[in-house]
Chains A and B, each alone.
Chain A
Amino acid sequence: MSTATTPVSGSKGTLRRGDRNRLIKIIGVVLITLSLMFPLAWMVIAGFKGKTEVLRSPFQFFPDMWDPKNYIAIIQDPQFSRAMIITFLGAVIFTVLSIAINSMAAYALARLDFALKRFWWVFCIMPMFIPGMAILLTSFMVVSQLGMLDTLAVLIIPGVASAVQMFFLRQFYLNMPVAVEEAALIDGASRWQIFTKIFVPQSAAVFVVVGIGSYMAYWNAYVWPILTITNPDLTQIMQFLGNFRSDRGNEWGLLMAGSTLAALPTIILVLFFQRYIVNGVRISGIK
């Protein structure tokens, strides 16, 4: 912020106003935090409740007794740690591949001029509008014929090219200043160099945003893993948690504890990467 806009007079009046602003901000932060975190806190706390206690009416926030047995049971279940590790591994590979493939396509579609560009743009964006249910049977037939069933690949490859992520990256690349690119071209740089040397380094923040999106999409996948994975060694975390659900009585306490533990790696990742979401994400309309 430039100091020119906020006249600093040093008088008591402005100081008090500054304090009041700060107070309002703190109150705002606290209120927003509480309302956003309430459901999350409830999930964590419900993990301490007994199977029948979670459902109880009237609504009760805290358990009768803080009993960590659900958490302990989940942590001690070797299937859980195996599912966490294999899902995490898959999610990381998925995210990296997804960023690589989608950003390349996004760059080409945003910054390059080539034959049939409009056709390819529609081709790449169209999958966004295809309901999963429309191609559920036929895409299963495809992966089955490719011999991909029961491999990590079937979880990763079919979803890695994502119209949504490509669309986001493209909107971002559209707004990078033309000047830089033109200067580099005059200096004899190739398009590929401009992409890897200029665009990619500037994409850290936007890669974090789409990367988290890809990671979460992989992490929360439920139907597709159930369709394609039967090998217990490859069981995904949402498949594991699905075991606690049934029409005839759910294991609520275990489900909540499991969901909490399953969310931890993601929360840690968000904590780690949040600092990359700072200035310089050129997705606004400014050149």
Chain B
Amino acid sequence: MSAITPTETITGQVAGVSPGLRRRRAQSPRVAKHLRSNRTAYLMIAPMVILLSIFVIWPLIYAVYLSFFKISFYKGSEFVGLQYYMFVLQDPKFWNSLVVGIEFAAMVVPAGMVISLLLASFIKVLSKRMASFMKVTVYVPAVISTVVASVLFLFMYQDQGVINWFLSLLNAGPVAWLNNPGTALPAIAVPAIWLGLGITTLIMLAGLLDIPDSYYESAELDGAGFFKRTFYITIPLLKNILLYLFVTGFTAAIQMLDLPLVMTNGGPVNATTTPNLFIFNNFRGATPYATSFSLTTALLLFVVLGLISVLVFRLINSDKAVDG
């Protein structure tokens, strides 16, 4: 397998592994140029490309086209150019919702990933029987629908809910978790983390199980503790998974709708109005203006998400994910 021997130091290993992998990637491309396989490749991506073209890309192009109109399905749409883009960009509530969405993602994604990594590391050291049990335990909560989870956490945050009951044992509270501008967003981040934990942990676990034990064993011999091993072995080696989890987690979190809709209705005073809730609330207007405005907002959200993701790909990964 790997060329690393137990005698190497931790830093030695890292120095030995990463550049090694990097060099190999750079020098020998996964496929030699003379083996270009246009026909097979195109056949293999064809179903995906065709389906995406019909059901995602064409609707997107059409939506962009519609966004230049004041849409009316009865009186005929009126061409207004970039007017709605101006309206959205000038709306402080749009910018506020973006900030809320980004803050929300910044709470949910890193916390979720750290907890998942710890859980996965824990499951890895368990005996086979306990590990099977834990794999199910961790995943099963994810089967709850977001609406049910929202309702449940809504109850737990009540003045007389479980959480304030614990506080009362400590002679503190009650705290109006969901109605305090400072606590409302973190309070709805908790169920979001909880809901995402299952799949994230399973993916992390799958990745962890793939790292040869010899890496850890040699590090352990060198006296590296859990955190050192995590930082110098696990995280660098899980880079691909972490990139995936980060990007998908981020796009999912920033687009959260159900939790704030059910738990806070966007309040207090828009402190939990995520971009999608902002769009959802505008959509209710049922006027041509509302239709055009919410459509345009959604398109601008797409631009923002795309830009952030490009940035993430550039920052975190670089050679692999983007160059493909």
Contacts and interface: CB of A to CB of B under 8 A. Distances in A.
Interface stretch (A9-17, A36-44, A75-83): A36-44
Given A101-B51, A124-B48, A175 B56 contact: no
Contact of A105 (B47, B149, B206, B299): B47
- Contact-residue size bin, chain A (C-beta under 8 Å from the other chain): 35 or more
Interface SS of B by simple majority:
helix
Interface residues of B, number: 116
B203 A5 contact: no
B31 interface: yes
Interface SS of A by simple majority:
helix
Interface stretch (A87-95, A228-236, A272-280): A272-280
B21 A285 contact: yes
Contacts of A104: 44-45, 47-48
A72 to B, nearest CB: 20
A259 B29 contact: no
Interface string B226-263: 00000000001111110110011001000100000000
Contacts, number: 315
Q: Which of B24, B140, B236 has the most CB of A within 10 A?
A: B140
Nearest to A270: B139
A183 interface: no
A213 interface: yes
Contact of B240 (A274, A277, A283): A283
Interface string A102-130: 10110111111111011011011011111
Given A178-B28, A192-B40, A43 B47 contact: no
A164 interface: yes
B305 interface: yes
A281 B161 CA distance: 42
B167 to A, nearest CB: 13
B240 A171 contact: yes
Q: Which 7 A-B pairs have the closest CB atoms?
A: A134-B298, A138-B59, A281-B206, A114-B41, A58-B160, A161-B51, A105-B48
Given A107-B44, A160-B51, 14 more contacts: A39-B149, A40-B140, A102-B48, A114-B38, A124-B49, A130-B56, A133-B280, A133-B283, A142-B59, A167-B248, A195-B44, A209-B199, A245-B147, A286-B237
23 contacts: A29-B130, A32-B137, A33-B134, A39-B144, A43-B148, A59-B161, A59-B165, A104-B45, A124-B49, A127-B57, A129-B302, A130-B56, A133-B298, A134-B60, A134-B63, A137-B295, A139-B59, A142-B54, A168-B244, A238-B145, A267-B140, A274-B132, A286-B2
Interface of A: 1-2, 4-5, 25-26, 28-29, 32-33, 36-37, 39-40, 42-43, 55, 57-59, 100-102, 104-105, 107-115, 117-118, 120-121, 123-124, 126-135, 137-139, 141-143, 157-161, 163-164, 166-168, 170-171, 174-175, 178, 181, 185, 190-192, 195, 205-206, 209, 212-213, 216, 220, 222, 238, 241, 245, 252, 255-256, 259, 263, 266-267, 270-271, 274-275, 277-287
